Amino acid sequence: MDSKPTILGVTAGRPRPLSPNIQIYRPQLTSVLSIANRITSVVLSLGAVGLVIWLTAAAMGPRAYGEVQGVVVSWGGRIVLFGFTFAFFMHLCGGIRHLVWDTVHGFELRSIYISGWAVVAGSVVLTLAAWAASLLLAG
């Protein structure tokens, strides 16, 4: 095997092609939940910005607060809020799964898959529960 410089190597004067990776690799529960956790983290970062906006409006007085709340309780706002709630619970459940892994527990494939589906189920159930509770309390 005749490898020349450049990280890709060269055969017969041509740079070697790179075999496909994400273009063909099968999505599995492992990689899908991992990227989902990352996507939720980015979504929640935006949510954190939203939290600061909401707090600042509250500090500025009833009029500023009223404007921000108007957006929040609008139909578009509620859909976004629902999305944020789901992202929050998915990141929370996924995060707890990660914290358990940090203690070096739950690494057998069976546990990985059971905890993975538990994260999916937990996210859905907790999101619906939170919104049901909110609707009940709002009367």
Partner 1 sequence: MRSPLARAQGLGSAKGGVKHWWAERASAVALVPLTLWLLGSIVAHTGGDYATVIGWLKTPLASLSMIVLLLALFHHTALGLQVVIEDYVHSDAKFAAVIAVRLGCLSLASAGVVATLQIAFSR
Partner 2 sequence: MIIESSDQVPRVTLLKRFPVPRNFKVTPQSRIEKGRTWPAPADASRLKAFEVYRYDPESDRNPRIDTFEVDLDDCGPMVLDALIWIKNKVDPTLAFRRSCREGVCGSCAMNMDGTNWLACTRFISDMSKPATIYPLANLPIIKDLVPDTTHLFAQYEIIQPWLHAETPTPEKERLQSPQERSQLDGYYECILCFCCTSGCPSHWWNGDRFLGPAALLQAWRWLADSRDEAEEERLDTLEDPFRLYRCHTILNCTRTCPKGLNPGKAIAEIKKMVIEREG
Please tell me the distance from the alpha carbon of residue 104 to that of residue 99, in angstroms, as a whole number: 9
Tokens 């994400």 belong to 22
DSSP state of 74: S
Residue 121 touches which of partner 1, partner 2, none (Cβ within 5-8 Å per kind): none
Beta carbons within 8 Å of 90's beta carbon, 6+ residues apart: 36, 37, 40, 119, 120, 123
Kindly determine how many residues on this chain lie close enough to bind partner 2 according to the rule CB under 8 A: 42
Q: Which residues pair with 76 in a beta bridge?
A: none
Output the smallest distance, CB 13 to partner 2, in A.
Answer: 9
* Run of H or E including 4: none
Phi and psi for 108 in degrees, rounded to 5? -70, 150
Q: Of these, 36, 65, 83, 128, which contacts partner 1 (CB under 8 A)?
A: 65
88 interacts with partner 1 by CB under 8 A: yes
Query: DSSP class of residue 103?
Result: T
Binding of partner 2 by 30 (CB under 8 A): yes
Q: Which residues bind partner 2 (CB under 8 A)?
A: 1, 3, 7-9, 11-12, 14-32, 34-35, 38, 98, 101-104, 107-110, 112-114, 117
Q: Which residues bind partner 1 (CB under 8 A)?
A: 3, 5, 7, 38, 41-42, 44-45, 48-49, 51-52, 55-56, 58-59, 62, 65-66, 85, 88, 92, 95-96, 98-99, 102, 130, 133-135, 137-139
